[in-house]
Structure 1
């Protein structure tokens, strides 16, 4: 009996010890350095290697297979047979074309096999980049561009063109949820994105992607994926600081600070959580362009001050937009019976002696005197992850994100935003073969000031426009009567009219500016307020494992907007405006010929409140040639579309002397504008959007009419063309792609090639149309001259209407790039991109806003381990000159060469990674977007701990 009990006890002890076996292992890279952050999968559990590359596993049963992986590296499978096994794993860098992506087909596949063009970065790219942060490093990818809205806000675009800082044709998702600001419906770079410490990978589809991702994935989509707290745990911290140097505009050198923290913990096999916090503060690039223009949305012309041109309207000078033809000013004074200081009248027809081409404007104030260039933001996000069924596949996620920022926003005007706030709350349940996701996002504009309106307000508060131009005109005529030259007379008139002007920094100026910022635009001020939000739900079901003959997916989405600007942006003066959209899609993917041939067909149907439903089909074919299937050819066709944005539909915004109007039918009567007659300032009229739609002339014909009237005094109604305007509708594009990817051994090196050509045909392209509405008269009544007289008296209002063009627009181009390792581990890469477009249109007012350089070259060189723990990287970019068109200004963006570089040092003993670098090291300032700040040089040092 005793022997039996001892035997049983020993057996039980052996079982318990076996159940509690702890296996330790270490992961190394190819240089035999510790590899932190590698994912180790075993049975139904996961863990990660720490900064020293070490990991621990609690093993219940042998033998055991574990998989060790990391983004950008080949997955290694190791068998552990006993507790005494020494587990050392070496992860070798994978080919970029072998990396797994999800975005192209919503199913895992190698980049090499992707049926459409895709660009990608992962953790190793972030570590190597010479850019200050991972988001800016996207500009080094083939065919990808970045527009700088400001120091913090980068707008990702592609060489497919038709992009600007109002990037409504490009969608950005963070863990499947759109990061767009509800008011604008596009993303402000990474402001509402990811903490760099939490980035797992970033994928970009630079072409049309509506079939899978909905209406606005028109010219591309960017998908950022964060790290899962079940797989990446611990506390990580980074701190960056440095200086920004701008040579133009006499801007001082400013320091900046960027700090981020990520904390993640796996509490059990069923529950994990993470939080992220980022704080960034710096000085925006100063916008100091003083070149003369033809006005808002116009062109650059000669002159840099009122001494050069009495009608000067500087790019970054605001308040000087208020100006009139000088002949019209003098004629108006004559008609009103204004007299000289001695009481004598202005002689009849004096206006005819005035040069018909001369305009006179107010002086205005420079942007730097109106705006606060300090930029900062704080972003916090947190998520609870549940795996209630005890596997690493099915997961429930509850997440939230909060963001507060001070920024300069570049759009139709320049906006100074202080205390802007965004929030998002998300619920998601997902598995390998399905997901259901719901989230709510809204924004609070905080203290947002329109710079142009602020300048106008300060000018008008000091002296109203009628008095100013009256004084100017009388002083000019008095000087001419005394024998002064025209130039001297204008100088004297300016001096008289400017007497008593509020000086920058004076108590009167500060009070007027503060008043402008606290007065809503509805009351003539410069403050914009908005609290717009939207609800979104989307879902996807993949029948993999259920249906064997093909990969079949179904999905859909629903979004509901609530527009709430209290009448300051939208026509929602009386109530919140709500509109909704939904979409459904299905995809079938089939492989043939030993998986060499892959055919994918996708179709999507979308319907929005104010528009007819649209189908978006996509068909792709790819074929892997070669013995190792390393030569992949692909052909893709897709029809994509873009629904008009909320602003396209419901905008009702008066900025200065013009009204921006959304053009769905129900919006016309919502927009009400009370205007003062030029011919009789004591009389007002009330206009609505219907006047703009049904009782207006084209802008070009009004200009021609007024030019003739000024030059000859002849009223010629035949020159006026009645405007024909249609309600806005979705725009579409038919996109064709032909591409080739390959991994080829040349000599002793493996070269990875990727090239693609594209052709896009656009229809119903969304644009703007300018019309002038007379304050009285009927433009369609040829028996009455009232409307014509209104145009002659300049009793008219300019409307900027959101509409579609009938123009036939084609965009085409290609890009090609390669990557390889040379000379024992140096990473070398280069790419070239070409893009162009053609427009067939009789519409002289149409501006395509292609806004993309025709030629771009990019190159990079680096080494992860040039010496022990020491690496470097250099990135260079060149692009040629191109025309940038926008509602702010049309101007050339000059040719530029930009060089970035960094040196890095890994210190394993303190789990640290230190990087020292700089951008635009050649030191020549450049403009990314006309009207924004000139971009100088940035130097930085960063310290990352335990990532």
Structure 2
């Protein structure tokens, strides 16, 4: 029996082996150079790819058979093969950019020229030729797109639609359909949790609202990165990059970036891949010593006096703590009106520590990214099952309301997806661990407090000061000189940077949670997401109809350090459903697309997001496409907008404003004027018994009780944008050169914009009342005079309506017999109705931007080069950290590359910001210097 089974197995295997025939061929580019990485597919469903020498081998069962050779950015070639002896030499020609196929705009394949909305993209060819250090930063060379540098590792995408900052919560980033959002912050850390450069198939960006198809938070754009499938792209590839960065404040330092991609097709039913990426460099040093009006305030112009009485440096922390000299005098028992009047306008700030001092010399920025996937095609149809996971370990710097230093932060994601030509169903779980993350501003404040708390500090200051100005002192000093001398005497024994005591104190503080008086932030939050889509293209002839939906559940777990989750995880859910109908008319020249989506979150009413677009292909070759689109986008409040309860320093609480959150945020405070009086305030007090920040400022100037104004607050709700877009894409022959044009104008109407509102809650008394409640030492107005108030930064919506408008125009062509030339201009501006005088629009976008690209992918055999230049004008950047002007700048990047086919290698030498002048991408972050690099890519 065993012999018979073995014989049967042998016969079956022999039949299988002999029933398949190998077909071999070569793929070349237009210059007849070997073309690696092209996808080769038979009409029987077999796939492979060309190697570095352009060679491919693929098995077929019978002849004739059609072989398709393709790659994004090149024209697809179909070859009819009648026997294994056929001579297969395939030449792939670059396609027009407008003819390249994209998916993101309508969730269905279509040419760029047919897209109903604005779309930008890059593929393998653009990545190869980019002068940027990596493909993600090269996105900043696209029309209307900017890349903001949060830090050395973390970059965020901005478009000329505006309202971007390092907290890029209005922009979604997807990798193979899964969000790379870090749960604690609701936005992506650039490409740290993205894709290995070797695994990038293409990148698509929709710079406008995309909520109709992609749901909540696809408010200001969406980035979709697609990776290579191991069934289609197998093999081993590696890259090595190294070079130096230069910065005026830090000098020169070396960086490294290495990656490997392993992909193998084990059979027609099973394939697998794994990617590993590691980068290490030195952080751009944040060393802005300019004086400011405080956190979220403005720069004070002029040369900063770092030893001044009221100095609050931008990147200096701990100096935020200050008291008016009049307040110090009252605590010391001074009642003489003339003397108090002489003290008016003088504030005494504690000395702080520069960010570089708190880092203790550790300015490393590292990122380790690993992902792996198992791919199954178990049946003969188009079904594919993917099981994948991704992990990221990060030493990093984040810039938000404060500066955050991360060591050993960890993000993980697990995904299961089933998909076919017309459908997909995917689910994934993302979770983060904050690791050793600490707040630099809190560290500076805590460091001062560890040495000498505020009460003792200002008590000692008062003793020294009044001796120095006493009429009985024969060497009495003028008031300001006496204040400087008194502060100097008190701080004689202050912890000094570089000492063992200083290092020990910083280490202890950064390892102690905020709730225990330190600066460490704890978080293990995550979310579970499921989404699906079905396209009825093969079921319905009338039109292209799609339906889909998504579900997400959040798990907030900070142990009460960031969220109000002291008593356990906070969970909430949201879901959405949508449908899209697309119909072509008039000989397929006219395309109508209509989409509507409904989304609902636990804490908010449901939102409908409609989109309608019409496009028309004119011209004999249909190479002039005109389009108009209207769509509504919305953004749900982030997890922090809803549930944050974070105390930053001794006098400021950040508070999310869904109703259930208010009672959970409690803060115990002790009166500065009545040291035996202690009470507990909550978020409910911020809503029911608080003063507006603007009225507190007026009161400080005038002292008139009538200037004080009770704050009226609303719970946070989703923000809405209604967007109109008119565009043209086309190809025009000018002077025997084919020019591709892309022009678009937009007008957006924003309502219910999510912002913050600062209010002040008195420790005792009732707002705008002179009555003294039972058990209180004084009334609410006295609390203001005594500085017995707690500032709450409330997440809420503004009443102001904001309109944004602008346009962008660009072209690409080839000149001088094969040189690539491209240029673009983008304009953007906004207007606000001014209903809310306390609202900061934070448009944060230059009004004018110009970009130029020039290069040749094959100037001569195996050699190419590329140059990119970007210019933008000055603009106001507003944030929770600081408001400041970002100066006008011009940035020049360039690279040369040389391929060595025998080594299956491409070498590249390049540099960024070749002008050498450091510039600021975001106020308060490190200045960006130059990078010079060499890279070696091996494709096998």
Give me the TM-score of the superposition, normalised by structure 2.
Answer: 0.96
The alignment status of 1:740 with 2:728, answered yes or no, reads: yes
What are the Cα deviations for residues 309-358 of structure 1, in whole angstroms up to 9, with x where unaligned?
31100000000011122222222222xxxxxxxxxxx6744642434222
Describe the SS at the equivalent of 2:524. coil
**Superposition pairs for residues 474-493 of structure 1, below 5 Å?**
474-481=463-470, 482-493=475-486
- Report the CA distance shift for 1:351/1:387 in structure 2 as closer, same or farther (over 3 A): farther
CA distance in 2, matches of 1:577, 1:17: 58
Q: Single out whichever of 520-529 and 926-935 deviates more from structure 2.
A: 520-529
- Report the CA distance shift for 1:629/1:944 in structure 2 as closer, same or farther (over 3 A): same
Residue 398 of structure 1 is matched in structure 2 by 387
Residue 318 of structure 2 is matched in structure 1 by 319
Residue 297 of structure 1 is matched in structure 2 by 296
Q: Of 380, 389, 395, which residue of structure 1 is paired with 2:379?
A: 389
Describe the SS at the equivalent of 1:378. strand
CA distance in 1, matches of 2:596, 2:871: 39
CA distance in 2, matches of 1:60, 1:561: 50
Describe the SS at the equivalent of 1:146. strand
CA distance in 2, matches of 1:633, 1:294: 49
Residue 108 of structure 2 is matched in structure 1 by 107
Residue 672 of structure 1 is matched in structure 2 by 666
What are the Cα deviations for residues 207-263 of structure 1, in whole angstroms up to 9, with x where unaligned?
00000000100000000000000000011000100000001x2x1311000000000
Residue 569 of structure 2 is matched in structure 1 by 576
Describe the SS at the equivalent of 1:670. coil
**Superposition pairs for residues 918-933 of structure 1, below 5 Å?**
918-933=911-926
Residue 444 of structure 1 is matched in structure 2 by 433
What are the Cα deviations for residues 597-645 of structure 1, in whole angstroms up to 9, with x where unaligned?
0000000000001100010000000000000000000000001100000
Describe the SS at the equivalent of 2:308. coil
Q: Is the 8 A contact 2:769 2:781 kept in 1?
A: no
CA distance in 2, matches of 1:761, 1:820: 35
Q: Of 703, 711, 723, which residue of structure 2 is paired with 1:723?
A: 711
Residue 888 of structure 2 is matched in structure 1 by 895
Residue 523 of structure 2 is matched in structure 1 by 530
The alignment status of 1:521 with 2:514, answered yes or no, reads: yes
Describe the SS at the equivalent of 2:663. helix
What are the Cα deviations for residues 827-877 of structure 1, in whole angstroms up to 9, with x where unaligned?
100000000000112322110100000000000001000011110000000
Describe the SS at the equivalent of 1:354. helix
Describe the SS at the equivalent of 1:612. strand
What are the Cα deviations for residues 694-734 of structure 1, in whole angstroms up to 9, with x where unaligned?
0001011011112223xxxxxx3211100000000000000
The alpha carbon displacement at 1:59 in A equals 2.7
**Superposition pairs for residues 416-431 of structure 1, below 5 Å?**
416-431=405-420
CA distance in 2, matches of 1:35, 1:457: 60
The alignment status of 1:937 with 2:926, answered yes or no, reads: no
CA distance in 2, matches of 1:521, 1:740: 53
The alpha carbon displacement at 1:369 in A equals 1.1
CA distance in 2, matches of 1:278, 1:308: 45
Q: Is the 8 A contact 1:303 1:312 kept in 2?
A: no
Describe the SS at the equivalent of 1:701. helix
Q: Is the 8 A contact 1:451 1:526 kept in 2?
A: yes
What are the Cα deviations for residues 34-67 of structure 1, in whole angstroms up to 9, with x where unaligned?
0000001102111100000000122332222111
The alpha carbon displacement at 1:307 in A equals 5.4
Q: Single out whichever of 642-651 and 491-500 deviates more from structure 2.
A: 491-500
Query: Aligned pairs, how many?
Result: 915
Residue 276 of structure 1 is matched in structure 2 by 275
The alignment status of 1:551 with 2:551, answered yes or no, reads: no
- Structure 1 stretches lacking a partner, 5+ long: 1-11, 335-345, 710-715
Q: Of 555, 560, 563, which residue of structure 2 is paired with 1:562?
A: 555
The alignment status of 1:379 with 2:369, answered yes or no, reads: yes
CA distance in 2, matches of 1:160, 1:465: 45
Residue 5 of structure 2 is matched in structure 1 by none
Q: Is the 8 A contact 2:770 2:779 kept in 1?
A: no
Q: Of 434, 455, 460, which residue of structure 2 is paired with 1:466?
A: 455
Residue 712 of structure 1 is matched in structure 2 by none
The alignment status of 1:359 with 2:347, answered yes or no, reads: yes
What are the Cα deviations for residues 387-441 of structure 1, in whole angstroms up to 9, with x where unaligned?
11134x3200000001101001111100111000000000000011000000000
Describe the SS at the equivalent of 1:498. helix
CA distance in 2, matches of 1:180, 1:689: 28
- Structure 2 stretches lacking a partner, 5+ long: 1-11, 773-777
Q: Single out whichever of 308-317 and 825-834 deviates more from structure 2.
A: 308-317
Residue 622 of structure 1 is matched in structure 2 by 615
Describe the SS at the equivalent of 1:135. helix
The alpha carbon displacement at 1:16 in A equals 9.4
The alignment status of 1:407 with 2:396, answered yes or no, reads: yes
Q: Single out whichever of 319-328 and 637-646 deviates more from structure 2.
A: 319-328
Residue 752 of structure 2 is matched in structure 1 by 764
**Superposition pairs for residues 218-367 of structure 1, below 5 Å?**
218-247=219-248, 249=249, 251-302=250-301, 306=305, 309-334=308-333, 348-349=336-337, 351-367=339-355
Q: Is the 8 A contact 2:642 2:657 kept in 1?
A: yes
Q: Is the 8 A contact 2:708 2:768 kept in 1?
A: no
Q: Is the 8 A contact 1:773 1:796 kept in 2?
A: yes
Describe the SS at the equivalent of 1:255. strand
Q: Single out whichever of 783-792 and 440-449 deviates more from structure 2.
A: 783-792
Q: Is the 8 A contact 2:283 2:365 kept in 1?
A: yes
- Report the CA distance shift for 1:302/1:744 in structure 2 as closer, same or farther (over 3 A): closer
Describe the SS at the equivalent of 1:381. strand
Residue 145 of structure 2 is matched in structure 1 by 144
Residue 707 of structure 1 is matched in structure 2 by 701
Q: Is the 8 A contact 1:117 1:207 kept in 2?
A: yes
Describe the SS at the equivalent of 2:493. coil
Residue 188 of structure 1 is matched in structure 2 by 189
- Report the CA distance shift for 1:546/1:16 in structure 2 as closer, same or farther (over 3 A): closer
The alpha carbon displacement at 1:523 in A equals 1.6
Describe the SS at the equivalent of 1:253. strand
Residue 697 of structure 1 is matched in structure 2 by 691
CA distance in 2, matches of 1:792, 1:747: 75
CA distance in 2, matches of 1:331, 1:781: 22
CA distance in 2, matches of 1:410, 1:347: 44
Residue 791 of structure 1 is matched in structure 2 by 784
Q: Is the 8 A contact 1:331 1:351 kept in 2?
A: no
CA distance in 2, matches of 1:23, 1:612: 60
The alpha carbon displacement at 1:566 in A equals 0.3
The alpha carbon displacement at 1:18 in A equals 7.4
CA distance in 2, matches of 1:266, 1:509: 57
Q: Is the 8 A contact 1:306 1:363 kept in 2?
A: no
Q: Is the 8 A contact 1:331 1:350 kept in 2?
A: no
CA distance in 1, matches of 2:204, 2:325: 55
The alignment status of 1:24 with 2:13, answered yes or no, reads: no
The alpha carbon displacement at 1:377 in A equals 1.3
- Report the CA distance shift for 1:619/1:71 in structure 2 as closer, same or farther (over 3 A): same
Residue 4 of structure 2 is matched in structure 1 by none
CA distance in 2, matches of 1:769, 1:324: 23
Describe the SS at the equivalent of 1:272. strand
Q: Is the 8 A contact 1:18 1:61 kept in 2?
A: no
